[in-house]
Structure formats: structure tokens, C-alpha cells
Chains A and B, each alone.
Chain A
Amino acid sequence: MSLADSQRSGVVRSPTSVRGRAALVAWAFIVPAFIFYATFVLVPIGMSIYYSLLRWDGIGKAQFKGLSNYLVVLSESDFLQILANAFQLVVYFTVIPVAIGLGVASAIRNHLGGRFGATARTILFIPQVIPLVAAGIAWSWMLASDGVVNQALSLLGLGSITRGWLGDFDFALPAVGLIGAWVLLGLCTMLLVTGIARIDPSLYEAARIDGASAWDEFRWITLPGLRQEIGVCVTVTVIAALASFDIVYIATGGGPGIQTTVPGLEIYRLAFAHRQVGLASALAVVLMLLVILCVLPIQWLTRQPK
């Protein structure tokens, strides 16, 4: 019944009751989604927090241990190194794809519509559609001591530096990082190229007439224009680095030593292989808080100024 109908019928609704009805409609839309969100996100988070206070093997009787699992996670040197490894991966997973993505986007900005632009975008996006496990396996082969990377180095006369990259204490983490960078480059490039297409070309024209250099154009037009896209790229890639699992699991299994062990891998191992559900949950909660702590400032910094 519309407002006009109700007036005709002599029943005049107060603005409050209209607002109430609108709120009811809003709730009708929100509630189903909220039920799913609560069932599959909020309740599991709550359960993880509860489990993190227990000593439990997932099957037998659980013992309440208070915050002792958190103390272990935040005091044992192995756990601290594992958390530090994740932050090192941020350098590779985030800085490299965003930097290269920005470079590529700027370079092909003038050729976006042409065949060259389309081909470049497709090639750069391909890694994104390859499953991470497949990427991990393929790169493990390429980085093996008899893989193509070492063959190429030998061809260039650099045979002395060849090694099993993923088993080397100094190079395993950078090697894993480069696999991640390769995978995420496509996403970043795609987002940034799409973003750059939205920037008004007249701005670049005006800058050129004013004698701006390519760097000036990049610094004062491209970067501010891509603020939101960069925000999305950085957010997604930082989360990918901190919560990484697939690539590490496949490429190195966390080794050598614990050189490439990341929180995601350790949580999985603790919960399912070692049956220490409490400790695994505590590490998961710490990881969740770290992700939030990293992502919130990024969101704040890259928000479009009003």
C-alpha cells in the first residue's frame, strides 16, 4: 500500500511509521545475508577464540589453559621467526607487483585500446588464472638445481651461482616471494590499467602543454588518480602475503629449517598434523589481528579525500 493509497483510504501514516517500514525492508534484506555471515564467519571466529584458550587434540577431552597458548605464540623464537617471515613476504608479494603494475600501466596508457594493449593485458593477467598449487609446482621445477632457471644462468656463464634455490637458506624465502609476485602481478596490473583508463586524458594534455616531464605526469596525475586502485592492490597483496599457504606448502614445505614457514602453514600443521588445536587457534587469532592492524591503516591512507 503506497502513501497515496493510505491517504485515499483515510489512513494517514506518520513519517515515523514510513521510516519504520523502510527499516523493516532493510532488515529483510540484511538478515538472510547476516545469518550466512554469522554462521560461516562470525561463529567460526568466536569458536577459534574459544579453542585458543584450550589444550585440545580435536577429539579427546579439552583442558582450559587461559592465555598460555598466546604466551607461547608471542614468546617462542620459532613462532616469532614465522611471523617475521610473513612480513618479509609482504615486500615481495606487494611492493614488486604494485611497482611493476604501475610501470606497465603508465607505459601502455596510450595504447590501451589497440591490439598491443589488449595482448599485454592478457599476458600479464594469465598468472592470475593459474591455480596457486599449479604455479607452485611449476616454479619448483623451474627453480630446481637442474631446472630452467639454472640452465639459463649457466648459458649466461653464471654457472657458479646456480643452486637448488628453494632449498637454500639465503634464497628460499626470496624465491617463494618471487613466485607470489609473479602470481599477483596480473591482478595488480589489471586493476591499475583499468584505473588509469579512467583518468581524464585532458589532464595529461594540460600537463604536457605546461612542460611537465614523464615523471611529473606520473607523480602528480597518475599516482593520485590511482589512489583507490593502489589501495585495493596493496590490501589484497598484503593479505595474500600474511595469510599465504599454497605456494609455500607446495614449493618448500616451510623449509629449509623454518626459513619459509609462514603462519598459515604452521596453523595448518599444528591443527591437523600435530593435533594442537588450541595453539593453532591462538596463532590464527594473532594472525587475524596482525592482518587487521596492517590493512586498516592502508585503507585509511588510500581513502579518496572528500
Chain B
Amino acid sequence: MKAKYVVQASVLAIVAGVASTGAYAAPSCGANPVVLNSYFETGFPLPTELSKEFTKQFPNVTFNIKEDLFQTLMENSPRVLAGDNPPDLIRLPSISDLVKDGLLKNLDSYATAFGWDKYPPAQLGQNRVADGGSPRGEGSLYAMGLNYSMTGIFYNKALAAKVGMTKPPETVAEFEDLMAKAKAASIPPIIIWNKPVVGLTFPLQNLMGSYGDPGAVNDWIFQRKDANINTPSNLTASQHLEQWIKSGYFQDDINSVDYATAMSRFIGGQGLFLFDGDWESGNFDKQMAGNVGFFLMPPGTAGGKHAAMSAPLTYGIGANAKNADCAAFFLNWVATNEEARKIDVAVGGSNPGGPVDLPLPAVTPGSVTEQTLNAGTTIAKDNGAMDFIANATGAIYAEAWTPTLQKMVGGREDSATMLKEVQDEYVKELSR
């Protein structure tokens, strides 16, 4: 008997030893108290709600959360990651520069351990970066999405009825026809913001997807060799946008309208369409319940493929984070845990991603959240997901898109000059 106990004890010790070195087990948060040092984005309750649920399920793990606005995050993240106490979990506005400086943990080993490498490749593509920080879209994995957002066009149902819109437009021409009818009925066709950074990149990039190959746009965003934004199809897209401006489809004052003002205008019923993302779906379902719909930007020709800007809500782990294993375990839990996926959709409004065999959480039938989630399926089918043109380089949004598109609104620049200036700035930034 005694010998049997000794053998059992030895086996237990070996198992415990293996577990503690992590040689065979997938990384986890263990059983000891862990405080995850977290740096989240102000104004987005999703990560905090997820952290609460995580602590409920794993009581030994708590979160020390610091929050900042997106722009502040963007400015602080290199220094915070390079500091003495780098975050275990950090919201990352962009990852290329951080990878270049060796500030982010390479997640390849976690991808293998948790089976992320078996997710649809497009899901992880935007968070892959080649050695040296560019191009993006290939190489090692440096971040994961808490969810995957989708953009398109929200519309006010009551105003849509007034202009005789019974179903979403199927071509850009039909969409333009609806805008013309709205304008004629003195209903502002499109609500948009254009300050302090421009919102016109939303319709512009959607038009680029309608008239050209979304893959080529991604090549430009990911800084692939010789990529160019100034192409004939993008010029067609820009000319449509310029025509919309000239036709008065946007309000005159958009250069002085910020995001919050645009939101309150749309929610207040002051315009028919709004170009925006599914992160607002939950908000609209509450504030405009039953009176808001969503459709993807229609293709240039009937029966064509759909394309949309779609990006992960990117979170990474500091290269020298103290609790990297636990942070990776959390990221895996977000994508796979049933309760976490429910929170992801209910609070975040977007597709939770994760393994293909997991079902999407149920949503209220007829809600706009349901429509945006379904739109994600269409985009996946049409292989039409594009990252944001504002993310091509760290400075391209503020230095090129914002001033040039504001100039186009002010009648100071035409679409051809706008595209040329953006490409010139892109080349200049990549050469610095």
C-alpha cells in the first residue's frame, strides 16, 4: 500500500512539475492571484465588461485598468510599453511601429497553443506584421481582435419611407438616386463628421470598394511594395465623392462638425444616411429602436461584389509583460467562451470572430445589430474586407486624408489632386 502511495505521489509531482513549467499545458492564469495590468480605450465599455465576467469565472484574476482616449493611447503606447511596468493587455491603435521597436510580444507560440492558427486566415491577417514592422498582413502575429467591426450605411427608416426607399439600394447609381430624392425633399442625404479628423474617408473607401479591388486597397494599407492609392478606379471613386459634395448631399458645415455632433444629428432624425461602423449598432438599437436600418455599400454594377472597411478591435501584450500567459489566455477566452461572445455582441455590437464552428450569439430579431452581423457574412463570402485607409501609416490620417478631404469640401482641391497629394505623403512617410 505504502509503495502505491509513493508511486501516486511521484506521478502527481511529475504532472505538477510539467504543469508549472508549462511545457505541455496550454498557457493559463494558474491558481495564484494575478493582477492583469490593463490599458483600455475610454468610451468603449466592452473590455471592462469582459474583464468583469472573466474575474467572475476566474476569481484569482483581477484587472488593474487604466483608460485613455484613442488619440492619447496612440501617443502614449510606445512609452508605456517601453516603461518599467509594460501592460499585460493593451488596446493598440496601430502595431507596425511598435513591432519595429520590439515593444510587442510575438503571439505565434500562443496561436499554436490555443489553435488560433486554425481560425479563418483573414481574421488574423491584419494583426500580422513582417520582421522590421512592414509590410503588415503577413509575418508573425502581434495582436488579437476582441471582435471584428464592420462598416456600412445606417439609415433612418422614417425618412427612408418619405423618399420612397423600400429596400436597400443595389448599385451606387440607385444609392445616388435616393440621395437626390432626399435632397429634393429637403432631407439632408448624408450625415457625416469632418473634424478634427475627417469622416469622409468612410464614404470614400466604400466607393473605392464599389469600383475597384479591395485587395489592392489592402496592399496600400499594409505598405506592400509599390502600392499606390492613386489608381484609375480610386479616381472614379473620388470623383463620385466630389460630385456628392457638389450636389449638396453633405451638409455645408461638415468641416466644423465632430463625431459627437454627427451622432446627435443622426439620432435626432436630421438626416437620412450615416456612414459608420457596427460599434454604434447597440447604441442605435437603444436610441432609435425600430427606426434604424443598415446596408452595405452597394457595388458599382448590379450583382457585383460587396466590400467594406472591417478591422479587429486590436489588443496586444507588452513584450516584457509580467503576466503574458494569463493575458493570452484571456484573449483566447474572449474568442471562445460562450458568455464572453455574448457580451462581445451585446456591448460591442460586432462579430466576435473565433473558431468557425462556434455559432454567433443570438441577437434581437429585426435589430440593427442583427443586420450588421449578417452583413459580416456577406463580406466574408465576397472576400471584401478592407482595413481602414486611415491606418496605412501612423501619420497619413492627420497629415494627408484630413487636410485634403477638408479642402475638397471647401472647394479648394479636386479629387485628382487629393489622391495625388495622399500618395505623395505616403511615399514621403515611408521614405523617412
Contacts and interface: CB of A to CB of B under 8 A. Distances in A.
A246 interface: no
A154 to B, nearest CB: 14
A58 B78 CA distance: 8
Of A55, A165, A275, A276, the most chain B CB neighbours within 10 A belong to: A275
A249 B395 CA distance: 17
The 7 closest A-B pairs by CB, nearest first: A253-B196, A167-B256, A167-B255, A164-B256, A164-B253, A256-B406, A145-B253
A166 B194 CA distance: 12
Contacts of A145: 251-253, 256-257
Query: Helix, strand, loop or mixed for chain A's interface?
Result: loop
Interface stretch (B37-45, B105-113, B204-212, B407-415): B407-415
17 contacts: A55-B432, A57-B97, A57-B101, A59-B101, A145-B252, A145-B253, A145-B256, A163-B253, A166-B195, A167-B195, A169-B410, A252-B196, A255-B403, A257-B403, A269-B395, A269-B398, A273-B395
Interface in A53-95: 55, 57-60
B2 interface: no
Contacts of B410: 168-169, 256-257
A144 B403 contact: no
A269 to B, nearest CB: 6
Given A169-B410, A256-B409, A257-B407, A274 B394 contact: yes
Given A144-B261, A164-B252, A272 B75 contact: yes
B78 A59 contact: yes
A251 B406 CA distance: 15
Interface residues of A, number: 28
Contacts of A165: 256
Nearest to B397: A273
B4 interface: no
Given A255-B403, A273-B74, A274-B395, 7 more contacts: A59-B103, A163-B253, A164-B252, A167-B195, A255-B195, A257-B403, A257-B410
Q: How extensive is the interface on chain B, given as a class?
A: 35 or more
B65 interface: no
B186 interface: no
B406 A257 contact: yes
A58 B253 contact: no
B399 interface: yes
B332 interface: no
B432 A276 contact: yes
B403 A59 contact: no
B101 A144 contact: no
A146 to B, nearest CB: 9
A263 interface: no
Interface string B383-405: 00000000000110011001110
A60 B100 contact: yes
Interface of A: 55, 57-60, 143-145, 163-169, 252-258, 269, 272-276
A87 to B, nearest CB: 20
Contacts of B251: 145
Interface string B239-271: 000000000000111111100010000000000
Contacts of B75: 272-273
B79 interface: yes
Contacts of B409: 256
Contacts of A143: 256
A253 B195 contact: yes
B71 A167 contact: no
Contacts of A59: 78-79, 82, 101, 103
A57 B81 CA distance: 14
A275 B77 CA distance: 11
A119 to B, nearest CB: 35
Interface string B174-205: 00000000000000000000111100000000
A290 B399 CA distance: 24
Contacts of A274: 394-395, 398-399
Nearest to B409: A256
Contacts of B407: 169, 256-257
Given A57-B78, A273-B398, A166 B196 contact: no
A168 B103 CA distance: 41
Contact of A169 (B103, B197, B252, B412): B412
Contacts of B194: 167, 256
A275 B82 contact: no
Contacts of B196: 252-255
Nearest to A254: B196
Of B100, B101, B257, B410, the most chain A CB neighbours within 10 A belong to: B410
Contacts of B100: 60
B267 to A, nearest CB: 15
B394 A255 contact: no
A276 B97 CA distance: 12
B256 A275 contact: no
Nearest to B98: A59
Contacts of A58: 78-79
Contacts of A169: 407, 410, 412
Of B196, B254, B256, B432, the most chain A CB neighbours within 10 A belong to: B256
Contacts of A55: 432
Interface string B260-286: 010000000000000000000000000
